[in-house]
Amino acid sequence: MKKRILLTSFDTWLSDQQSNSSDDLLLEVTKLDLLPHNLNFLRLLPVDVRLASSQVIQKIDEFQPDDIICCGMAARRTQLSIEVTASCNESVLQTTVDLEQLILGAMAIDISHDCGKFVCEGLYYSVLNYLLQKQLTTRCIFVHVPVLTPENLAVTVADFVLIINRLALS
């Protein structure tokens, strides 16, 4: 049976941004049509924690994914970064995915302990908290995506596909 994987991305938040690299990456994945998984895309989420979280939780209830990969833009980073934790006030939640195992063989991915203090961390925390509160077995990771360039596009897409495949097989 195919694993159901929900992938999310954000819209832009600055007037001079032509796109959000998280959405650019998901767009590249839709072009591949090579993945033997049941992928469901929730693209261009509003850059607002409450609204984005509400839309993702609604999609979780509707789609009932096995895994969730939330993506957000990290313009200052140079490669994919997978976040270990998200916090809200004093509460810290951690993904249940073994990230070291997940990225074995990747060309350019790092494991990060700094989800930032913007909408990315808010969404990640909200989703992890929802899964915990509902006692769902769905696993969730958050991937920060650098600005995609001709130099890093192929490696970034390949590493992201590796993540999708590893989640689907574990």
Per-residue pLDDT reduced to its tens digit, 92-127 = 999 999 999 999 999 999 999 988 888 999 999 999
Give the integer Cα–Cα distance in Å for 49 and 149.
28
Whether residue 37 has pLDDT greater than 80: no
E strand or H helix at 126: helix 119-133
Q: Map out the domains of the chain with their CATH numbers.
A: 4-169 (3.40.630.20)
Give the integer Cα–Cα distance in Å for 63 and 145.
24
Give the integer Cα–Cα distance in Å for 152 and 129.
33
Give the integer Cα–Cα distance in Å for 69 and 52.
14
Confidence of residue 18 (pLDDT cuts 50, 70, 90): confident
Record the pTM. 0.95
From the CB of residue 45, how many other CB atoms can be counted at a distance below 10 Å? 25
Both structure tokens of 99: 């990230």
